[in-house]
Amino acid sequence: MKGPRLGVTIFMTALALCGVGTSVARAQSPACTLADYVLLGERVRYDVTGSGGAIYLKTAVTAGRSYNVLAWGPFGGGINGEDDIDLTLDLFSDNTCATPATVVSTTLFEPSPVVPGHAGAQVSIIPATTGPLYIRARNNGTDAQVQVVIVETTMFSPWWFTGGTNQAYIEVTNNMSTATSAVVTVRRANGSVCGTTTVPLTAGGNAAVEINGVGTCAAALSGSSQISFNGTLGGLTANTTTINVPAGTSFDSPFSPRMVWSLFSR
């Protein structure tokens, strides 16, 4: 029966290489200066021991884009059973974790990692600076296995045009059950920014932005745009519509995220 066993071995090895297989929990990183690097979209898993025990991670972020961090315990308490998970997340801009990062939201956007008997944690950030971001995940319960993932939520639309009698509009809707704001950045064709605006969005609400009314974009004639927001991946949906009323024509350039949920894990 070596054939079937060999086939199973190859299959499980392939799953592990793709990050789909079961990962092994690692010992917690003991200090901010020893923070482990985590790739965007990579799920990491650690044993966090003792009440108040923490793990420290670091990743690279870009100013003006948006990111969401989730922390949870996959097995109740993991080590000691149910009700051991009581997590908090803190973000810092320095390797001693003394300077809080900005701009951070602690709102529990859906999908929330908090349910009865399980207090996971979530934070969102639109970084003010480009560079490293340090993450502290602390468990206020007893020993537990903790998983953390950070994803980029920024969305991009490749084209708008306002030459001649054309007008361009960005339409955006909030898919979440909690209010947020869309930070719209409009760029010229050469990539330079011609204007920004912040659009408040109620839960389930929507809004439209006329690109000619943003900064100096009316003189730019064409370009692209970006939306950052506090919330989870897929929390907003957006589209750019260029319309020429006299000619009776229009075309759309939908926004899409720069990344999606990843299967990478360690």
- Find out whether 125 and 105 touch, Cβ atoms under 8 Å: yes
Identity of the highest mean pLDDT range in 47-61, 80-94, 106-120, 206-220: 206-220
pTM for the structure as a whole:
0.86
Kindly report the average pLDDT of the chain as a whole number: 86
- 109 and 178 Cβ atoms separated by less than 8 Å: yes
Element (H, E) at 5: helix 2-17
Residue 138 in contact with residue 87, Cβ under 8 Å? yes
Q: Which two tokens stand for residue 189?
A: 């064709």
- Mean pLDDT value across residues 131-157: 92
Per-residue pLDDT tens for 204-220? Answer: 999 999 999 999 999 99
CATH number, span 22-152: 2.60.120.380
The reply to whether CATH 3.30.110 applies to domain 155-256 is no
The residues spanned by each domain of the chain are 22-152, 155-256
For residue 229, the one-letter residue type is: F
Q: In the prediction, which pLDDT does 239 show?
A: 98
Q: What is the pLDDT of residues 27-65, one digit of tens each?
A: 667 799 999 999 999 999 998 887 788 999 999 999 999
C-alpha Rg value of the chain to the nearest Å: 22
Q: Count CB-CB contacts under 10 A for residue 42.
A: 19
- How many other C-beta atoms can be found within 10 angstroms of the C-beta atom of residue 58? 17
Question: Is 47:145 a contact under the CB 8 Å cutoff?
Answer: yes
Is pLDDT at 78 greater than 60 in this prediction?
no
Structure tokens at 174: 């909030």
Handedness of CA 129, 180, 149, 119 (dihedral sign): positive
Mean pLDDT of 160-181: 96
